[in-house]
Structure 1
Amino acid sequence: MNFLHAQSASLPGEVEITPGIIDTRVNLPACAALEATLPPGNRPWGNTAVAVHCASPQQWTIYVRATVKVVADYVVSTRPMRQGQVLTAADLTTQRGDLAQLPPGIITDFNRAIGSTLTGSLPFGSPLRQDILRAPAAVLQNQSVKLVSGGRGFSVSAEGRALNNAAEGQLVRVRSASGTVVSGIARPGAIVEVSY
């Protein structure tokens, strides 16, 4: 089960692994070096299986079932919320539970949800998922922005006007003061990084 411990090391919270029982009637020859992998489609949490393979001296493979619980705090709504609502601290709280029993993409970082906009309605006490949140805009259409570019030993900046909205890390088009349209990456503070 060391394999599952390694696979789940990056997951938030406390990980509890309960290995399944191997049928005692299975009589496998000794193995010089075991190799464990996750079969395609299996994830390292919830009810899962691990493929244990032996290549030498004789080849064999056995599948070992396991239950992996990931107990952590996750973000839930404190009241019913509507599509388009911008989330504040008063709209959210945390709850502790097994993340393996929840839908994928559950938000575990309270601060990551603050300022985001809901793309759908959310009932009271519902866990927040990444797929129903839109990140706040770092750059707004028609906003005056600072274009920055740099390389080894130099840095250049100029002013421009954003041609579209963009969240942090998204592509934004900007019309420079000279009228040229360039594309760059939106950063907080109305900054657009341009690479040449």
Structure 2
Amino acid sequence: MLLRCFSLLLALIAGPVAAAEADIVLDTAERYVRLQTQGLPGKVRITMGRLEVDRLPPCSAHEAYAPPGTRLSGRTHVGVRCLGPNVWSVLVPVQIAVTGNYVVTTRPLAAGQTLQAGDLATLSGDISTLPTGILEAPEAAVGKTLRNALSAGQPLRSDQLISPLVIRQGQSVRVTSRGTGFAVSSEGRALANASEGQVVQIRMGSGQTVSGIAQADGSVEIAF
């Protein structure tokens, strides 16, 4: 009889302790998710799932982490591990919805086609379910060329676009070397095609080959 009463007493004590530990785990996971998603575009909504663990040993130090291969968007999991005095880890389900703008095509488009404003539209919705690299504004795509054909209504990614060439192989270009308090310009000849922001090699009049960043105006800049 005494043994049974003692067991019931332990169960009554362990219940609140386990519940408190589960609350700490959920709070640790949520704070981690909020920190990791604070730089995402749009409005982030986080919904923590139910922790499917009946009882967790007491823990004095918790650490949240993203399991390998985990993407912190849509339906996913966040890990929480105990660093001591007991060692354990659990996965906490979480739903991360990000409401924001994204660009879609308004009609079927062919590979190699240069995009115009009328080819694109902006929609608003949950972008957490879309592939990475989705464009938020049509201005980022207008004037660029498609790498592959797209159907109407398809979200547009940055890796599907080719920027127009600002430098062509063999053309004469102005090369500006910049450093703290100085800027020196000279002429050279491009050894390859380049879009704005790409690294391109230039053969100078002296025969020396240098590398710089292609600028929108067709010049090349070397920073020191």
One-letter identity of the residue aligned with 2:35: A
Note the C-alpha offset of 1:42: 0.3
User: Which residue of 2 is the match for residue 154 of structure 1?
Assistant: 182
Aligned residue runs from structure 1 range 12-161, under 5 A: 12-23=41-52, 26-161=54-189
**Contact 1:73/1:108 (CA < 8 Å) preserved in 2?**
yes
CA distance in 2, matches of 1:142, 1:179: 14
Aligned residue runs from structure 1 range 163-178, under 5 A: 163-178=191-206
CA distance in 1, matches of 2:191, 2:64: 51
**SS of the residue aligned with 1:72?**
strand
CA distance in 1, matches of 2:129, 2:179: 47
Aligned length: 195
User: Which residue of 2 is the match for residue 9 of structure 1?
Assistant: 38
- 1:15-61 residue CA offsets vs partner (Å, 9 max, x unmatched): 111111112x5211332232110000001111111111111222221
Query: Of the two structures, which has the highest relative contact order with CA contacts closer than 8 Å and spacing of 6 or more?
Result: 1
After the TM superposition, which parts of structure 1 deviate over 6 Å for at least 4 consecutive aligned residues?
none
CA distance in 1, matches of 2:85, 2:208: 67
Note the C-alpha offset of 1:66: 0.8
**Contact 1:34/1:52 (CA < 8 Å) preserved in 2?**
yes
CA distance in 2, matches of 1:12, 1:127: 16
Matched-pair identity in %: 46
Using structure 2 for the length normalisation, give the TM-score.
0.80
**Contact 1:118/1:132 (CA < 8 Å) preserved in 2?**
yes
**Contact 1:32/1:57 (CA < 8 Å) preserved in 2?**
yes
CA distance in 1, matches of 2:82, 2:98: 29
Note the C-alpha offset of 1:3: 1.0
Decide which moves more: 52-61 or 41-50. Answer: 52-61
User: Which residue of 1 is the match for residue 7 of structure 2?
Assistant: none
- 1:171-196 residue CA offsets vs partner (Å, 9 max, x unmatched): 21223344544322211111212357
**SS of the residue aligned with 1:33?**
strand
One-letter identity of the residue aligned with 2:210: V
Note the C-alpha offset of 1:101: 1.8
Structure 2's unaligned 5+ residue stretches are 1-29
Structure 1's unaligned 5+ residue stretches are none
Larger Rg computed on CA atoms: 2
CA distance in 2, matches of 1:177, 1:46: 55
**SS of the residue aligned with 2:60?**
coil
**Would you tell me which structure has more helix in proportion to its own residues?**
2
CA distance in 1, matches of 2:117, 2:168: 23
**Contact 1:139/1:188 (CA < 8 Å) preserved in 2?**
no
Note the C-alpha offset of 1:82: 0.8
Q: CA RMSD in A?
A: 1.8
**Contact 1:75/1:95 (CA < 8 Å) preserved in 2?**
yes
Using structure 1 for the length normalisation, give the TM-score.
0.90
**Contact 1:144/1:190 (CA < 8 Å) preserved in 2?**
no
**Contact 1:45/1:69 (CA < 8 Å) preserved in 2?**
yes
Decide which moves more: 106-115 or 10-19. Answer: 106-115
